[in-house]
Chains A and B, each alone.
Chain A
Amino acid sequence: MVRKFLIFILIASFSVIFINLYQNFKGQDKLNDLSTYYAENEPQELGAQNLVTSIVVTYRGFDTLGEVTILFLAASIIGFFLKIKESDKQKKRDLRKTSEILETASKILVPLIFLLGVYVFANGHLTPGGGFQGGAIMASGMVLLLLANPEKNVKHSLFSGIESISGFTYVILGLLGIYFAYGFLDNRVLPLGQFGNIFSAGLIPLIYTFIGLKVGSELTNIVGNLKETQKETE
């Protein structure tokens, strides 16, 4: 109890920093120079309708490469951290039977979810969404599949294969920017196309596709690992 009280005092005094920050905060009424530049020049420079996407994939594409790397590393770490023995993998868990509704619905929903995922990442440069969102949607489809068929194991080799190849392609696409455009991760390797068209904005849709595949397979792998490791305890 004393400990909790002290923690409360600690957090209360910590909040002083944020109260100060809040008091000195002034909401903006116009864009700052940097975002004004983006708003004015992005359509000609990169040709993506979604400004956020152009920043994420190109202007600050190097951040995104890092982001992808974090997910990749997390999945890799979990991959070897929670690895279980081959003998454990074959173990049957005594699970409650899945409801019929879930089983049936999954058969219909999973393809639709996948389709939605593909749509979200393929249109990342036009509408809200992108590789991460699309990948997450696809992974949620895989989670639904796993829930419906808890006996099934995730095919790790397949997903890590997809993951590796899309990651590698992403780096290669980035390098193409050095030779065929103006810098690493430049999207102007391909023609910018018609503004607002699905085939526009240079490499952005391509990159987002690979990111989507990569994120989807990484998240699937993580979920699969978290699920399988439970066999070890039983």
Chain B
Amino acid sequence: MVAPIYIITIPLGIAFLIGVLGKSNKNIGGMFMLIALACMSFVSAQWFISFMTSTQSPVYIYTAGFKPPFSINLLMGLNEAFFTLIINIATLLGAIYLYNNLKKQGTNAMSVFLGFAMALNVMVMTRDIFNLYVFLEIASVATAGLIILEQGLKSTSAGFKYMIATGIISSILLIGIIFAYNYSGTLNIDGLIEANIGILKGGAIAIFLILIAIVLELKPFPANGWALDVYQGADSGIGAMISAASASASLYVLYKLFAIAGESWYPVIAVLGIITFIASNLFGLKQTNSKRLLGYSSIGQIGLLITVLGLSPYLGDKFEFIAVTLLISHYLAKAILFWISGIVKAENIKNWSNLRKKPLLVALFGTAVFLLLGFPPFPSFFGKWELVMQLANSGQFAWMTAILVGSFFEGIYLFRWFGYTLKLDNKELPEYKMKLNKIIPPAIFGVAAYILGYYSGTFVDAAKGLDYIPLLFIAFIALINFLPAWVKNSISLTGVILYIAVIFPEFDGDLLRQIFAAIFLGGAVLALFAGFYSKGKRSGFHVVTLAMFAGLAMLLKADNLLEIFYAWELMTIGSYFLLIRGKKSMPHGYSYMMFSLGGSYALIFGFALAFVSFGNLDLQSLSGITIYPTLAYSLMLLGFMTKTASFGLHIWLPGAHGEAVVDIHFMASAILLKAGVFGIILVLLGMGTEASYAKYILYTLGWIGAISALIGNIAASFQESAKRLLAWSSIGQLGYIVFGLALMSHLGWMAGIFYTATHFLYKGVLFLTIGGIALKLGTPYMYRMGGLIKKMPFSFIAVLIAIITLSGIPPLVGFAGKWLFYNAIISQGLYFQGIVVLFSGIVAFLYLFRLIYSVFLGQLKDEHRNVKELPLCLLIPIYILIIAIMIISARPDFILKPIGNYLLAYFPSGALNWNGTMASTGLGYWDGYWVMIIVGVMFTLLFGWLLILNSKSKKVKQFNMVYAGEKPFRPETTHMSYNMFSGYNKALGFFMMPGVTGFWNWMSDILHDTANYFRRIYSGNGQSYAIHIIAYIIIIYLIVF
């Protein structure tokens, strides 16, 4: 193997040499620089691989041939190999990225870049503290030079502020070092550790000065104004280097010197880190400059890593895994983000919509955002998971909360930014070129993020059962994104069907999962089939759709809490992209993501408490949580209810669903919401009814369900948009389900699960039909529709059947659900909630009537004279669902009996009694089969009689009438469908007051105002930043001593 000293001598030698060699031809200099960096990466990689795969022991490099402390020595161990490797790869790719900038400034700049890379490597490897100081200074000087690579007022003033700050910091470090030498008589780090000078007052101060200087190098809040200016002022390629390479090196230096400091420093460092993490993510909220925002995010992430270091006593043997996964995620994501910000050249985050002109950049941006926030399949997901679990294991709940809050702040601005990128108009923005040398580095890092994500999963025991085949399939679909939609649709459909064949037998004997699998995967098939309506490429659609369905399938397959969380997050990613595809979906997709993120953090907190109670991650650990059980169950329910859009957490749904196109609307409403139901079922099964806290939780949950039902149905009645109407109606329907589950009785659960299945069927019909019509007519507003019955008879029949089912009128299956429901309510004596639910059921008639009347009845509008029936690819799924409804309506026992038997295991009492097809409870009986037959016969007879009676009647044309003495000439004048229920609106309108939305807006305003007020400490004056640094040192000194 190549000796590690060459990592240092090669760049140094070449840095000196290209001063002469490269003068005549700058490309020669550039090539030499790249070769040097490649050699460095090669040497580190060689050592890293050897440490990972064999029993290679760490190697010391003794300069001048003397052992320490007489001479400076360097160490190449696993840690050093890892850190030099990531630094060298970042600098190599960074140099490729910056190649033209460096070339423009000539060989001098190339030498500086090599010096920068070399200094970072020595910082990692050296075991001599004064040597560390020297190379830290080299790194600082080189950074000061790289900042002004693109010369201008901004970069120059940022660079000067940087020099003032690092000048003070390194002087403090030097004073610390010299006094440490005074007390210990050595400059060797290992010698210093042995000398244990911390017991002397003077020695303790020396250690304080050393550590505080290194901490200041890591840009802690609030002594970090200079760093923000540097991120903003310097070229983004340099920003990537500072954020990825320098920060990694400085972090390792802190880790290395920590051994000198002793245990009392752990809490100090943890507190300094978390303050930085939370504060800089909070301040980022108001930031609109992309590079400065990245600066805030970088500083925040480094703060998190410092916190992890400070909390390492609590993390046990997982510390290294957590630190490495979080570091590598930050490293990859920040480099990608800075690099693409240099390509798109948009300072304001609103102009990042320009990114959309190059889909690859959008994919990279999305990868980086999800990577930073710890979503699967990335390394940070596993890192964050282990971090939270280990902290919970040590009882550090306050730290968990703080870390999750900080991450949430980061999510707020990252997703706002990402939303801007996906949705804002970019027509006016200038064209730009994507040069090959600028796109290769971020692309490599993007791919690495996925590979490392898989790799880090193999280190987590609980993640060993994860099924990566769906993800590979998704990756394949992503690769063929350039093909037309119908090809991708067919391939996806085949894939899903094959997967169903594989996965279904796994659920044998588990009825609950079978029902949900039928909803999720059957729904997937129908949704993809409906997707054939779309023409063109539909770029990215299939990737995110399949990601969502993969998440749903994994949710069912999950054997432990980690897998549930993995699946949940994967589904969240997919559904976010689906929901934000609508034309005006930006704010709604954003609020969906915010609730999902908050919900995920609530979930992981709850899971952590379950994990600690039981000591393992099996699903059984959800039952009988002993540590803060009330909190744990409430948080988990809250987390799952973000997806069922229950009252209080529902504000994202109407907009997000209302803007989605037909098949996405179907997926989001009929399928996705059920994932939340599945989660609630898992939690409630675990919680049971016995414990004292369960009563309160269930009582609250019941009310939440009832209120959701009421609010959802009332709001649905006042919508003008058919799609929003259906969206609100979903909130109401899900409210029923939540209410039913909260009853925690045999009948209640039967009703809830039965509702879940039937809601999928009839809502599926409605979403597909109404969505298809809205797409065809180009408007979702019902007052602009009307009289479509003759144009779209099949759609009319479908909607008619669906609304009969929904409203719970016999003979169709909706009645069975309602019947079960009222039985359950009455047998438990919940009259007050029962009244609310009953009332909301009545309200449902209002919007259902409006739906069929405004759309299909009344007068046909002039512009719709040539409308045709929906395409077959929509009608076929619709009628498959209708057939299912009819079958279940005729023989509800097909599905109710197994559910009843299944539930006996959990709720032994209060089951239905079956007598053939007749079901009975203590309160009454009902036989769907005979009701169906009787109603069917009656309907046929009456219908036939009507036909005979009207066979001779005269056909009336549309305008063949006189209306209040006038002959109408426009359809609008006879079709009253705008503001249809204005009378009711006066009576019930107060329910529609946007109180919940107002509450969340108020919260958001408070956060943003706080951020805006406090970020003013970054006044822009370099001298003030120096004052911050000195004040920071004094304050920490006073706290520590």
User: What residues make up the interface of A, taking CB atoms closer than 8 Å to B?
Assistant: 7, 10-11, 13-14, 16-17, 20-21, 24-25, 32-34, 37-38, 45, 58-63, 65-67, 69-70, 72-74, 76-77, 79-81, 83, 157, 160-161, 163-165, 167-168, 170-172, 174-175, 177-178, 181-188
CB–CB B205/A187 < 8 A: no
Q: How far is the CA of A37 from the CA of B185 in the complex (A)?
A: 12
Across the interface, B61 reaches (CB within 8 A) one of A33, A60, A72, A184, namely: A184
Verify B9–A76 contact, CB threshold 8 A: no
6 A-B pairs with least C-beta separation = A182-B65, A164-B19, A24-B202, A167-B16, A77-B145, A32-B185
19 chain-A/chain-B pairs, Cβ below 8 angstroms: A24-B202, A38-B70, A58-B71, A66-B134, A69-B118, A69-B138, A76-B145, A81-B151, A160-B19, A164-B19, A165-B20, A167-B19, A171-B16, A175-B9, A181-B65, A182-B64, A183-B62, A186-B64, A187-B64
Q: Are A63 and B9 in contact (CB under 8 A)?
A: no
B106 at the binding interface (Cβ < 8 Å): yes
A168 touches B16 (CB 8 A): yes
Q: Are B63 and A185 in contact (CB under 8 A)?
A: yes
Partner of A163, one of B19, B66, B209: B19
Question: At the interface, yes or no: B489 with Cβ under 8 Å from chain A?
Answer: no
Considering the complex, give the chain A residue whose CB is closest to the CB of B184. Answer: A32
A226 to B: closest C-beta gap in Å = 15
Indicate which residue in B111, B145, B205 contacts A24 across the interface (CB closer than 8 Å): B205
Task: Identify which of residues 185-239 in chain B touch chain A, using a CB-to-CB cut-off of 8 Å.
Answer: 185-186, 200-202, 205-206, 209
A34 to B188 CA separation, bound complex (whole angstroms) = 11
**Option from A21, A61, A73, A167 in Cβ contact (under 8 Å) with B145:** A73
Cα–Cα, bound, A164→B107 (Å): 11
Closest to A41 in B: B70
In the complex, B573 has a CB within 8 A of chain A: no
B777, CB-defined interface residue at 8 Å: no
Assess the A174–B9 pair: CB atoms within 8 A.
yes
List chain A residues, Cβ under 8 A from B1033. 14, 17
Of B20, B106, B182, the contact of A80 (CB 8 Å cutoff): B106
Known: A76-B115, A165-B16. 18 other contacts (CB 8 A): A21-B206, A58-B64, A63-B130, A66-B119, A69-B119, A72-B16, A72-B111, A76-B19, A77-B112, A77-B148, A168-B16, A170-B16, A171-B12, A177-B64, A182-B65, A184-B63, A186-B65, A187-B64
A182 proximity list for chain B (CB < 8 A):
62, 64-66
- Would you call A21 and B205 a contact (CB within 8 A)? yes
Expressed in whole angstroms, the minimum distance between the Cβ of A213 and any Cβ of chain B is 12
A64 closest partner in B (C-beta):
B134
Q: Are A17 and B1030 in contact (CB under 8 A)?
A: no
Q: Out of B9, B115, B135, B1041, name the residue touching A184 (CB < 8 Å).
A: B9
In angstroms, Cα B5 to Cα A73, docked, is 20
* A63 CB contacts on chain B under 8 angstroms: 72, 130-131, 134
Partner of A185, one of B18, B64, B119, B1030: B64
Is B182 within 8 A of A25, CB to CB? yes
Q: Which A-chain residue is minimally distant from B209 (CB atoms)?
A: A17
Instruction: Report B124 CB to chain A, min CB distance, Å.
Output: 14
B23: A residues at CB distance < 8 A? 157, 160
- Does B148 lie within 8 Å of A81, measured CB to CB? yes
Is the beta-carbon distance between A188 and B1037 smaller than 8 angstroms? Answer: no
User: Nearest CB to that of B179 among chain A residues?
Assistant: A21
C-alpha gap A182/B60 in the complex (Å): 13
Is the CB–CB distance between B64 and A37 below 8 Å?
Answer: no
Number of residues on chain B facing chain A (CB within 8 A) = 62
B982 CB-CB contact with A under 8 Å: no
With an 8 A cutoff between CB atoms, is B144 at the interface? Answer: yes
Given the known interface contacts A66-B134, A67-B134, A81-B148, the answer about A177 and B65 at a Cβ–Cβ threshold of 8 Å is: yes
Taking a contact as CB atoms under 8 Å apart, the answer to whether A62 and B63 are in contact is yes
Question: Across the interface, do B5 and A178 meet the contact criterion of CB distance under 8 Å?
Answer: yes
- Tell whether, in the assembled complex, residue A70 and residue B141 are in contact, meaning their CB atoms are under 8 Å apart: yes
Shortest C-beta distance, A54 to chain B (Å), equals: 10
Known pairs A24-B202, A25-B182; A10 contacts B65 (CB<8 A) = no
- Considering only CB atoms, which chain B residue lies closest to A38 in the complex? B70
Question: Which B residues, 995 to 1041, have Cβ-Cβ distances below 8 Å to chain A?
Answer: 1027, 1030-1031, 1033-1034, 1037, 1041
Is B511 interfacial (CB 8 A cutoff)? no
A58 to B62, CA, bound (A): 12
How far does the Cβ of B701 sit from chain A's closest Cβ, in whole Å?
A: 55
CA distance A58 to B71 in the complex (A): 8
B96-118 contacts to A, CB under 8 A, are 105-106, 108-109, 111-112, 115, 118
Enumerate chain A residues within 8 angstroms of B475, measured Cβ to Cβ.
Answer: none
From the candidates B141, B179, B1027, name the one contacting A7 in the complex (CB within 8 A).
B1027
Given A59-B64, A62-B72, A62-B131, decide whether A73 and B112 contact each other with a Cβ distance below 8 A: yes
Which B residues touch A185, using CB under 8 A?
A: 63-64
Cβ–Cβ < 8 Å partners of B774 in chain A: none
Considering the chains assembled together, what is the distance between the CA atoms of A70 and B9 in angstroms?
15
Q: Is the interface of A mostly helix, strand, loop or mixed?
A: helix
Q: How long is the Cα–Cα vector from A7 to B108 in the complex, in angstroms?
A: 39
- Measured CA separation A34–B187 after assembly (Å): 10
B403 within 8 A of A: no
Cβ of B896 to closest chain A Cβ, rounded Å: 77
CA distance A58 to B1041 in the complex (A): 39
Q: Does B1034 contact A10, Cβ atoms closer than 8 Å?
A: yes
Residue of A nearest to B69 (CB): A34
Q: How far is the CA of A161 from the CA of B16 in the complex (A)?
A: 9
Q: Please give the distance in Å from B173's CB to the nearest CB on chain A.
A: 14
A171 and B13 contacting across the interface, CB-CB below 8 Å: yes
Contact A17 B20 (CB under 8 A): no
- Give the docked Cα–Cα distance between A72 and B112 (Å): 9
Asked if B429 is at the interface (CB within 8 A of a chain A CB), the reply is no
Nearest-Cβ distance from residue B1031 to partner chain A, whole angstroms: 6
One digit per residue, 1 when the CB lies within 8 angstroms of any chain A CB and 0 when it does not, for chain B 32-67 equals 000000000000000000000000000001111110
Instruction: Say yes or no: B63 contacts A61, CB within 8 Å.
Output: yes
A181 to B12 CA separation, bound complex (whole angstroms): 21
Assembly CA distance A160 to B15 (angstroms): 12
Query: Does chain A have a CB within 8 A of B559?
Result: no
Flag if B70 contacts A37 (CB, 8 Å). yes
Residue of A nearest to B122 (CB): A66
Would you call B202 and A25 a contact (CB within 8 A)? yes
A37 to B1041, CA, bound (A): 35
Interface: B3 (CB within 8 A): yes
Q: In the bound complex, do residue B17 and residue A73 qualify as a contact, i.e. CB atoms below 8 Å apart? A: no
**A-chain residues with CB within 8 Å of residue B131 when the two chains form the complex:** 60, 62-63, 66
Q: Do A172 and B185 have beta carbons less than 8 Å apart?
A: no
Determine if B5 and A184 form an interchain contact, defined as CB atoms under 8 angstroms apart: yes
Known contacts A17-B205, A171-B12, A171-B13; A164 and B141 CB within 8 A of each other:
no
B618 CB–A CB distance under 8 Å: no
Complex interface: chain A residues within 8 A of B19 (CB): 76, 160-161, 163-164, 167
Once the chains are docked, how many angstroms separate the CA of A77 from the CA of B1030?
A: 28
Q: B320 near A: Cβ within 8 Å? A: no
Residues from chain A with a CB closer than 8 A to the CB of B1027 are: 7, 10
| Chain B min CB distance to A155 (Å) | 13
Shortest beta-carbon distance from A195 to chain B in Å: 19
Distance in Å: Cβ of B507 to nearest Cβ of chain A: 64
Report the bound CA distance from A25 to B200 in whole Å.
11
- CB atoms of B141 and A77 under 8 A apart: yes
Give chain A residues whose Cβ lies under 8 Å from the Cβ of B13: 168, 171-172
Is B580 an interface residue, CB under 8 A from the partner?
no
Interface string of B1-25 (1 = CB under 8 A from A): 0010100010011011111100100
Q: With A34-B70, A168-B17 as given contacts, are A61 and B134 in contact (CB-CB < 8 Å)?
A: no
Asked if A60 and B71 sit within 8 Å, CB to CB, the answer is: yes
List residues of chain B with CB within 8 A of the CB of A80. 105-106, 108-109
B142 within 8 Å of A (CB atoms): yes
How far does the Cβ of A41 sit from chain B's closest Cβ, in whole Å? 8
Closest to B130 in A: A63
Q: How far is the CA of A129 from the CA of B112 in the complex (A)?
A: 28
Given the known interface contacts A66-B134, A81-B151, the answer about A76 and B111 at a Cβ–Cβ threshold of 8 Å is yes
Residue B137 at the chain A interface, CB threshold 8 Å: yes
A45 → B minimal CB distance (Å) = 8
